Amino acid sequence: MARQITFALHHDQQTGTVNPPEWVVRFPYGDTAIRKKLTAYGIDQESYGQDFRIRKPLQDIYSIIDELKQQLPDIQIQVRGTNPRTDGGSSGVNHVHPAISRYRKELEVRQYSPQTIKSYLSCFTAFVHYWHPRDVSSLTRDDIMNYMHELVRRRSISASFQNQIINAIKFYFEQVEGLTRTKYDLPRPEKPDILPKVLSPLEIERLLTQPDNCKHRCMLMLAYGAGLRNAEILALRPRHIDSERMMIHVEKGKGKKDRYIPLPERLLPELRDYFKRYQPKTYLFEGQKKGEPYSAKSLQMVVKNNARAAGIRKTVTPHMLRHSYVTHLLEAGTDIRYIQELLGHSNIHTTEIYTHVAAHKKPQSPLDLLNMNIRLSDE
């Protein structure tokens, strides 16, 4: 059964006489992950056990949906029975909403990346849902501050996600509506000083030798051996591998910047073997259908499953292999300016954070300099 959740407005409540309205929530009952998430939001099962129900205003339902999509990105969610309908369909507010349509058009005209368009639209659509049926163009700075306060207080969103929401809202008021920055200037959360998480060379060896599938092995070797971002790996095409010059061409990476990265010698025979077996049509790594790129979620699972099989107890992500690539280059004595160029960083300060992780940058403990012998106790 497909992973789908439906929030249906109970027919007795469509008159609007009951506040908050009651929703019937339907989902695959055997999906314990979905049931656990929904239970946390306050759904209750009816006494006769046929339906789950929840009493929430529409804006809270959309807030729940936004969270669920962040936590379970593979599920499909529908909202039925809301009014007014903007497209003849089931949802009261969707991408045909005038403000959202103008927002999408502005993003596309400015040629933002598909991922940026997706994340900005998600944040802005949730913002429109929250204020529906109020016109978002009439909102004041205090209104937006109250919205952000609600997200931080009730949903405990992360600082990075809060920044993403602020960027999405500011884009609407400044770029779509053309208002001055000062009128809707919003405070930024204090960014936590978190260092990149890396794997040791021995852990990398165990991880890279784990996959039996040559496609999986090539993707892992690219993530570590070339320090590519997830999206860059999945966007690669066969023509981007230059075996004559032993270079990888990253075309329109983050910030729409091109760059070249040395192709590891160990990787070339692996790629040739993979190409003969799979014969990709359009992208270097394709999914179940020829011509379509391998999915980001599948790549994450490849890394996670092979790390677990290799006995690595850390939570390993594809981006951690990029962090490890940089850190190991620094530990090998590679010039940081060259590393900046390889990574595609605009600012050297972004690259310098890895100096706090590289082992050779750490001074020897004074304890290790003492000339002393300690007899270990037998106890």
239 is catalytic: no
Give pLDDT, residue 114. Answer: 82
Most confident of 16-20, 80-84, 231-235, 344-348: 231-235
Concerning whether 362 is annotated as a catalytic residue, the answer is no
Q: How many residues does the chain have?
A: 379
- Please indicate whether residue 104 is annotated as part of the active site: no
Look-up of token digits 């129900």: 53
**Catalytic site residue from 3, 80, 229, 240:** 229
Expressed in angstroms, the distance from the first to the final Cα of the chain is 59
Confidence class of residue 83 from pLDDT cuts 50, 70 and 90? very low
For residues 217 and 207, give the distance between their C-alpha atoms in angstroms, rounded to a whole number.
9
Helix (H, G, I), strand (E, B) or coil at 361: helix
Catalytic residue among 322, 323, 325, 328: 322
Active site (annotated) includes residue 69: no
What DSSP state is assigned to residue 333?
T
Q: Which residues contact 210 (CB under 8 A, 6 or more apart)?
A: 306, 307, 309, 310
What Cα–Cα distance (Å) separates residue 144 from each residue in 137, 164, 166, 378? 11, 14, 9, 65
The enclosing H or E element of 5 equals strand 4-9
Q: Is 345 among the residues known to form the active site?
A: yes
Given 197, 206, 254, 259, the catalytic residue: 254
Decide which of 17 and 312 is more confident: 312
pLDDT band at 377 (very low <50, low <70, confident <90, very high): low
Q: In what order do the strands lie in the sheet with 247-250?
A: 241-242, 247-250, 259-262
Check residue 211 and give its pLDDT. Answer: 93
Mean pLDDT of the chain: 83
Question: Within 10 Å of residue 333's Cβ, how many Cβ atoms?
Answer: 7
Residues 86-118: tens digit of each pLDDT: 333 334 445 457 888 899 999 999 988 888 888
> Which residue ranges form the domains of the chain, and what is each CATH number?
4-80 (no CATH), 98-176 (1.10.150.130), 201-361 (1.10.443.10)
Active site residue 354: yes
**Averaged pLDDT, 201-205:** 95
**Any idea what the Cα angle at residue 112 is, between residues 110 and 113, rounded to 5°?**
155
Q: What is the pLDDT of residues 282-298, one digit of tens each?
A: 999 998 888 899 998 89
Contact 24, 8 (CB under 8 A): yes
